[in-house]
A and B are shown apart, each in its own frame.
Chain A
Amino acid sequence: MTISNQSISAPNSISSNSISPNPYTMKNLLKWSALGIFSLALLYMVWALYLAGEPLFAVVILALCVGVVTVFGQAKYYTARFIFPAIAAVGIFIVLPVIYTSYIGFTNFGSRNLLSFERVTGQFLRDVSVDKSTERPFKIISDGDNYKVLITDGDNTLLSQSILLDSTPLELSLSIAPAPTNEPLAMREVIKLRTQLAQITLVMPDGTELQPSGLRSFAAQQNVYELQPDGVLLNTIDATSLTPDQKQGFYVDDTGEPVAPGWRVGVGFENFNRILFSDGIREPMVQIFLWTVVFATLSMVFTFSLGLLLASILQWPHLRFRSAYRILLILPYAVPAFISILVFRGLFNQNFGEINFILNAVFGIKPNWFTDPNLARAITLIVNTWLGYPYMMLLGMGYLQSVPEEHYKAAALEGAGPIRSFFSITLPQILPPFVPLLIANFSFNFNNVVLILLLTRGAPDIVGTTIPAGQTDILGSFTYRISFSDSGQDFGLAGAISTLIFIIVAIIAYVNFTAMRNYAKKKGVAR
């Protein structure tokens, strides 16, 4: 094996005393300019994120930038260069989202409280009221490349001077003039000019200023709210006021009622209190939690039993066509899950589905798969078993090979049948390596959001709840629907539930990890 002996900018971490080579090589120059461009791009993002009111993300990107420059710029972090990119990816796209989701659980973030305080205030300050009594229709008269604005005010015709409509803000004085002979522009031409028109203020001969109040008219407009020094928004029309309430994240009117839109504020444990004490949320939550556990446990038991049964049959040396069976049996695992789940959604359809068509033809029944809670739960389990048994079968076939054949022979000599020898010999030997995988499988199904979202979307709904909750919803799909359903998004509540799931997942992960450790130790595998 030949190894090129070119100069490398970083010293060898194994032979620590190597002399640092000439720093002005082409390679070094390239490296530093790449680093420079990269960090400039990152710094621009930091700055823009900070301006956009996202200090957390700005800090993360800044940390990334510092990390990249330190690790790739300084020779002593040579080793870290190998793992830094991987750790950064995991940190930014797994760890940060987990922390950020939990953080959202302590805020009121949602469709009612979407923006920052500054942007909500800005929205109120941009509110205008149109004075209907000053509303005047307008026409646009083309004048070569330029245009004139024409306003009819009673019997008078008011005309502006000729202007080039090019989006610069303009104040145009109007004066009484004879009606021009040119035809005014058609409506569709006016629509094309609407962004340019929005910049225009017309000044009437009496000094009133008119702004566009639609595609057909100009009118005098006035800002509704005026910002007072103490932060209160004073309504200039009816003299009421809006007071910012940083606790609720809303402006409240004089009677104390919140006025939408609100902004994001921390609410402490309120979302968690809602989960624990609000009946409309707690009851479906408990039900969904229990179903999640039942679903994950039964999925694990069914796929494991079925997979192991098939693996045992396929391991039987007298059986012919074993490899053909094997390929056909793993097909459900080979087809992308998002396709097969949707296929089942269609097959189980109550009206057009093939399954009901056959059941109706043979038994004369048409079960309501998606509206009966128990049937809906049954199909999630059926489909999940169908999807999951090949994985267990493949693993089982691997582990079955590690059981010495002498054990079976001895059992056969003792007169044990296949069932007896399976439970007395096979199972005890293959269960220990299986345990961590079974725990991982449980954890996977505990959060098998894809299956539920694509198959039932939680249907049928639980009646009498204040949030969208379904009989087949598991915790994960439940939070997905709270966050991304069309009817009002409640990121705060979803974040709080996710935080609870994170705690459960962390416990499962730790248990799984210990189980793996113990197994590895027992086998004497050096770590």
Chain B
Amino acid sequence: MIVEHPKELRVKKFLAHGFLILFLIIILFPFLMVLSISLRQGNFSTGSLIPENPTLEHWSLALGIPFTRADGTILTPPFPVMLWLWNSIKVGLIASAGVLVLSTTAAYAFARMRFRYKQGILDSLLIIQMFPAALTLIALYAIFDSLGAITPILGRNSHWALILSYLSAITLHIWTIKGYFDSIDPALDKAAQIDGATPWQTFRHVFLPLSIPILAVVFVLSFIYLVTEYPVASILLQETSQMTLAAGARQYLYEQKYLWGDFAAAAILSGLPITFVFLLAQRYLVSGLSAGGVKG
């Protein structure tokens, strides 16, 4: 620690705290506002940060419970938010499990096996992941449109179609897991091999138990990414009952039908669990990001 002049230090500390607090007020303003809006009556009311007549009508609607106002008018939920959240979680969990299986096995091969074009394939994966799915939506739409004509399970409005397309989000994860496998002592494979283990057995009984932490990180990262994915979900899922949260949330704020208050409550309710998972995972996130991005 660099020793500084006490008086100068106090001024500096004061300035630093002042700046951070001011900055935080600006940055966190939207969150406070949304909380306040979710407690106001109706969808068009403006007012102070602390609502004068707090009401739980938007929260009730977001939970899918019709709300009766004091004057007897009954409000019905505009959208099945809880169903959307459930769809999101379902798709996210299944697709992340698939992503984990595909990326772990591939990472093992890239870390330990010898085959032709290995470095070429690895490098291509890094370049391919720069192509965003948002630009190939026409093609994805066409693919699932024609698959859907054969079997509705793989057609538009099917969660399986979405999950299948999400399985391609593995490129960076392969790099992350490979980096971790690379750090496992090769003596362990040698020992397993001498005991007569096949590569699959080495993978299953030596590598997997050793890499549970990194697998958990990849699973959570993939889950967060997939649950918040918008473009592909928005073109594949057009039926209200099938939508994920990301695909459906926009419907609250159409020019013609502007449900600001209902949106606020639904946003907090559905955003909280995802935010919470993220905050738990964020310390691992950084290492994953920089490992995937930089570690050659």
Q: Do A and B come from one complex?
A: yes
Question: Which A residues are closer than 8 A to B by beta carbons?
Answer: 1-5, 8, 10, 12-15, 44-45, 48-49, 52, 54, 57, 78-83, 85-87, 89-90, 92-98, 100-101, 104, 310, 313, 316-319, 325, 327-340, 342-347, 349, 352, 354, 357, 386, 391, 394-395, 397-399, 405, 408-409, 412, 433, 436-437, 440, 443-444, 447, 449-450, 453-454, 476, 479-480, 483-484, 491, 494-495, 498, 501-502, 505-506, 508-510, 512-513, 516-517, 519-520, 525, 527
Do residues B228 and A517 form an inter-chain contact, with CB atoms below 8 A?
Answer: no
Determine the residue in chain B with the shortest Cβ distance to A53.
B146
Q: How far is the CB of A311 from chain B (nearest CB, A)?
A: 11
Residues of chain B within 8 A (CB-CB) of A398 are 286-287, 290
Asked if B74 is at the interface of the complex by the 8 Å CB criterion, the answer is no
Decide if B212 is an interface residue (CB 8 Å cutoff).
Answer: no
Question: A276 CA to B264 CA in the complex, in Å?
Answer: 44
Q: How far is the CA of A78 from the CA of B27 in the complex (A)?
A: 53
Interface size on B, residues (CB 8 A): 110
Q: Which residues of B contact A57 (CB under 8 A)?
A: 143, 146-147
A483 touching B137 by the CB < 8 A rule?
yes
Given contacts A346-B260, A352-B46, contact A94 B290 (CB under 8 A): no
Contact across chains for B27 and A386 when beta carbons are under 8 A apart: yes
Pick from A318, A330, A408: contact of B13, CB below 8 A. Answer: A318
Docked pose: A505 CA to B129 CA in angstroms: 10
Q: Is B65 an interface residue (CB 8 A)?
A: no
A96 to B230, CA, bound (A): 20
The residues of B that contact A90 with a CB separation of less than 8 Å are 125, 128, 168, 170-171
Find out whether the CB atom of B134 lies under 8 angstroms from the CB atom of A352.
no
Q: What is the predominant secondary structure among interface residues of chain A facing chain B?
A: helix
CA distance A364 to B203 in the complex (A): 67
Total A-B pairs in contact (CB under 8 Å)? 303
Contact call B103/A483, Cβ cutoff below 8 A: no
Contact present for B30 and A340 (CB under 8 Å): yes
Given contacts A398-B286, A437-B294, whether A509 and B130 have CB atoms under 8 Å apart is: yes
Most A-side CB within 10 Å, residue of B30, B197, B263: B30
What's the nearest-Cβ distance from chain B to residue A498, in Å? 5
Question: B167-205: which residues lie under 8 A (CB-CB) from chain A?
Answer: 167-168, 170-171, 174, 191-193, 195-201, 203, 205
CB distance from A16 to the nearest CB of B (A): 12
Is the C-beta of B206 less than 8 angstroms from some C-beta in chain A? yes
- Asked if B86 is an interface residue, CB under 8 A from chain A, the answer is no
B76 close to A (CB within 8 Å)? no
Q: Which of A44, A394, A408, A412 has most B Cβ within 10 Å?
A: A394
Chain B residue with Cβ nearest A2: B205
Residue B22, interface by CB 8 Å: no
Report the Cα distance A329→B249, complex, angstroms: 25
Per DSSP, are chain B's interface residues mostly helix, strand or loop, or mixed? Answer: helix
Asked if A328 meets B246 with Cβ closer than 8 Å, knowing A498-B136, A527-B296, the reply is no
User: Which of B16, B103, B165 meets A316, CB within 8 Å?
Assistant: B16
List 9 additional contacts besides A437-B289, A454-B250, A519-B294; criterion CB under 8 Å: A12-B198, A13-B113, A52-B149, A338-B230, A338-B250, A346-B37, A443-B130, A509-B127, A527-B296
In the bound complex, residues from chain A placing their C-beta under 8 Å from that of B106 are 82-83, 85-87
Give chain A residues whose Cβ lies under 8 Å from the Cβ of B114. 79
CA distance in complex: A516, B137 (Å): 29
From A83, A342, A480, contact of B137 by CB (8 A): A480
With A78-B199, A83-B121 known as contacts, the answer to whether A94 contacts B109 (CB < 8 A) is no
Q: Which of B1-51 contact A (CB under 8 A)?
A: 1-2, 4, 9, 12-13, 16-17, 19-20, 23-24, 27-28, 30-31, 33-34, 37, 44, 46
The residues of A that contact B125 with a CB separation of less than 8 Å are: 90
Judging by beta carbons under 8 Å apart, are A1 and B150 in contact? no
- Chain A to chain B contacts (Cβ below 8 Å), 12 pairs: A85-B106, A90-B128, A94-B131, A97-B139, A98-B135, A313-B19, A328-B24, A333-B278, A386-B27, A408-B2, A449-B132, A476-B132
